[in-house]
Structure 1
Amino acid sequence: MYIIQNEQLEIVVAAKGAELQKIYNKETGLDYLWSGDPAFWGKHSPVLFPIVGTLKDGSYLYNNQTYHLSRHGFARDLEFTVIHQSEAAISFSLQQTAATLEQYPFYFELRIHYRVKENRLHIQYEVLNQDEKTLWFSIGAHPAFKVPLVKGTSFEDYVLCFNEFENTGRYPLTDDGLLAEDPQIFLQNTDELPLKKSLFYEDALVFKTLQSSSIKLESPKTENGLTVDFKGFPYMGIWSARDADFVCIEPWLGITDSVTTSGKLEEKEGILSLAPGETFTADWAIMTW
Structure 2
Amino acid sequence: MIFLENEHLKASFSSKGAELQSLVSKATGANYLWDGNPEYWGKFSPVLFPVVGALKNGTYLFEGNEYKLPRHGFARDNEFKAEKISDTEAVFTLNQNEEALKVYPFNFTLKLHYKLIGTNLSCTYAVLNPGTNELLFSIGGHPAFAVPTNEKLNYNDYFLEFNKDENLTYYKINGDLIGDETDVIYMNNHSLPLTHQLFYKDALVFKTLKSDTISLKNTNNAHGLSFSFKDFPFFGIWAAKDADFVCLEPWCGIADGINHNQELKDKEGIIVLPAKGNWERTWSVTCF
- TM-score class, shorter-chain normalisation, is over 0.9
- Provide the TM-score with structure 2 as the length reference: 0.98
Q: Is the 8 A contact 2:95 2:109 kept in 1?
A: yes
Segment drifting more, 13-22 vs 143-152: 143-152
C-alpha deviation, 1:189, in angstroms: 7.2
Per the TM alignment, residue 85 of structure 1 is displaced from its structure 2 partner at its CA by: 2.1
| Partners of 1:116 and 1:92 in 2: CA distance | 15
How many equivalent pairs are there?
288
Q: Displacement of 1:130 after TM fit?
A: 1.2
Offset from partner CA, 1:74-111 (integer Å, 9 cap, x none) = 00000000245211100010000100001100010000
Report the RMSD for the aligned CA atoms in angstroms.
1.1
Name the stretch that deviates more: 75-84 or 53-62: 75-84
Distance 1:187 1:50 in 2: 33
1:148-206 CA-to-partner distances (Å, cap 9, x unmatched) read 1212111011000000133341111112x001013112245751110000000000000
Counterpart residue type for residue 24 of structure 2: Y
TM-superposed CA distance for 1:237, in Å, is: 0.4
Report the equivalent of 1:15. 15
The aligned counterpart of 2:180 is 181
- Tell me if the contact between 2:227 and 2:285 (Cα under 8 Å) persists in the aligned partners: yes
C-alpha contact (below 8 Å) 2:2/2:84 kept by paired residues: no
Q: Secondary structure at the match of 2:100?
A: helix
> What is the TM-score with the length of structure 1 in the denominator?
0.97
In the other structure, the counterpart of 1:215 is 214
Structure 1 match to 2:252: 253
Conservation of the 8 A alpha-carbon contact between 1:122 and 1:286 = yes
Q: Deviations over 1:215-248 (max 9, x none)?
A: 0000121221011100111111000000001100
Distance 2:119 2:246 in 1: 20
Matched, 1:198 2:194: no
Residue 142 of structure 1 contacts residue 251 of structure 1 at CA under 8 Å; is this kept in 2? yes
Aligned amino acid, residue 219 of structure 2: P
Alignment-derived partner of residue 2 in structure 1: 2
SS in 2 for 1:42: coil
Q: Is the 8 A contact 1:165 1:190 kept in 2?
A: no
Structure 1 unaligned spans of 5+: none
Structure 1: how far apart are the matches of 2:99 and 2:26? 41
Contact 2:212–2:228 (Cα < 8 Å) also in 1: yes
| Counterpart contact for 2:167–2:190, Cα < 8 Å | no
Structure 2: stretches of 5+ with no match in the other structure? none
Q: What are the within-5 Å matches in structure 2 for residues 220-259 of structure 1?
A: 220-259=219-258
| Distance in 2, Cα, partners of 1:11 & 1:101 | 32
Give 1:285 shift.
0.3
Runs of 4+ residues deviating >3 angstroms: 187-190
Q: Name the CA shift for 1:246/1:188 in 2 (closer, same or farther; >3 Å).
A: closer
* Corresponding residue SS for 1:249: strand
CA contact (8 A) 1:89 1:113 kept: yes
Instruction: Assess if the C-alpha contact under 8 Å between 1:172 and 1:206 holds in 2.
Output: yes
State the AA in 2 paired with 1:228.
F
